[in-house]
Amino acid sequence: MRKKDRGFSLIELIIAIAILIILTGLLAPQFMKYIEKSRKAACLNNIDVVIQEYQVALIENQKVTPEEVLDDIKPKCPSKGFYSIIHKGEELFVINCSEHGNSDGISTDPAVAAAQKAYNEMKDFVGLTHDETIKITGTNSNNTAIRDYLLNKQGGSWPEFDKQYTQKAGFNKNLYVQPYIFKGTSDYKRTDDIIVYAGASKDNTGDAWVAYLIYNPQNGLWYHAPDNKSTYRIQDKPWDVIQKDTIDNGWLPVN
Ligand SMILES: [Zn+2]
């Protein structure tokens, strides 16, 4: 049949091209989002590499600054952002990309890194919708249910608190970094009500509300009682009360 070898008719070609144009238009934003996501991931990975190199240098007892490590590695941001170091206290810094922001939450200090992780996980929970919250903790959601959920994500045990800090604070026992959230009137929706502390119980049984050390998310410091023995019961207290009772009343930073 002759008609068969003729290939596309003009109208078929126009329809095919029109479909392609529509498809491209539909997929382009998704595609761009995907590309941008990959670029950001690559960029944050660059930042991780610098932090790891810095930690290796510290372990090997080399005297380096994060600036020197950054200058040495010269990472390239895929979106052409440039990197800078923001210092937030001794040994505590974030690396910022002008395009992708920073890796806030990463500290070279393990005790601070553990606190930031606990804080961020509780913050993620607070960011969930009402329905998602109910799915996880049930309608009677309470601090214990939320902590059980987060503990489960950690494999059933809160991470051990840095031993050097424990000793510096005057305690001779294992402590564990864990988050707490005060309900208040907000149904667990205020990040201001997140508390991170070091307690003696590695899970949610036992004396869970006694804080041996308390983390201040505003400055990235861990605090302990000046007499090197007092503890503080955080149960049913919002962060501003805890802060007033402890830090404003003489608790000292351990880092
Ligand atoms: Zn970047």
The residue type at 172: N
Name, of 16-20, 37-41, 152-156, 184-188, the range with top average pLDDT: 16-20
Tell how far the Cα of 75 is from the centroid of ligand 1, in angstroms. Answer: 10
Tell how far the Cα of 80 is from the centroid of ligand 1, in angstroms. Answer: 7
Q: What is the pLDDT of residues 198-210, one digit of tens each?
A: 999 999 887 778 9
Tell how far the Cα of 28 is from the centroid of ligand 1, in angstroms. Answer: 22
Q: What is the pLDDT of residues 95-153, one digit of tens each?
A: 888 777 775 545 667 788 788 889 888 888 888 888 888 888 887 778 888 899 899 98
Tell how far the Cα of 82 is from the centroid of ligand 1, in angstroms. Answer: 7
pLDDT at 52: 87
Strand stretches in 67-175, DSSP E: 83-87, 93-97, 101-102
Tell how far the Cα of 115 is from the centroid of ligand 1, in angstroms. Answer: 26
Whose tokens are 């990309």? That residue is 97
Neighbouring residues of the ion ligand 1, judged by CB less than 5 Å: 43, 77, 81, 97, 99-100
101 bridge partner residues:
97
Contacts of 241 (CB under 8 A, 6+ apart): none
Tell how far the Cα of 104 is from the centroid of ligand 1, in angstroms. Answer: 14
Tell how far the Cα of 85 is from the centroid of ligand 1, in angstroms. Answer: 13
